[in-house]
Amino acid sequence: MNNKCTLYIDEAGDLGFNRGTQWFVLSGVIVEKNDEPLIRNIMKNIKSKLNMNNIHFRNMKYEQKAYVVDTLCQGRFKFISIIVDTTKITLKTKNKDDKPSFITYNFACRLLLERASWYLRDNKMIADIVLSSRGTSRDGELIEYIREKLLNYDYNQVSNVFHKITAKPAASWDMLQLADVCATSMFYFYEPNRFGLVAPCFIYRML
């Protein structure tokens, strides 16, 4: 019998080519259903300690980030990240309505789901997918892309280990806030701050 879990997906960085960040990170956090109550309780305690309604990692102070990462490591979860150097991507689209940022995001999503599916397959697990919602039509388009172009297309090498796909707002969904912490921690490993320095300490603590 396969263990049930959820793959929570969130991002860090900006895919606005030559206008956004150099690095874009798409992360997926795999949490078994039985482990969610503990992680939710950890998140609740963190927000109470920091007097916050939700955790948006990039907006927090350094010492708050360190506390969040260290405390979340009490929970049990796995995460996978796809890292994109936006300066290396040149796309020419045949359809003028196709946006390079959407195509790149979809490709990163494909890579993420492939790798997540291999982990789930090897560990005899089946997962629901929860995406961080943008509150736009893009949510539905991405769900359709995953369902029709990834999960039902053999050449994408995505194993048949996924079930339901939904999009939820991160501000009101604790587990997506966990995915935000993972994605942004990896982002800080690559993206220099305004002083030209990277901050690998957060991701090192989570490994």
**Helix residue spans in 16-77 (DSSP H):** 36-50, 62-72
Task: Say which amino acid occupies 140.
Answer: G
pLDDT of the residue at 98: 65
CATH superfamily of 3-206: Ribonuclease H-like superfamily/Ribonuclease H (3.30.420.10)
- pLDDT category at 153 given cuts 50, 70, 90 is confident
Residue count of the chain, please give it: 207
Query: What is the C-alpha separation between 173 and 9, in angstroms, rounded?
Result: 12
As a whole number of Å, the CA-based R_g of the chain is: 17
pLDDT tens readout for residues 99-142: 778 889 999 999 999 999 999 999 999 999 999 998 888 999 99
**pTM (two decimals):** 0.95
Range name among 18-27, 136-145, 179-188 with the lowest pLDDT average = 18-27
Average pLDDT over residues 20-29: 95
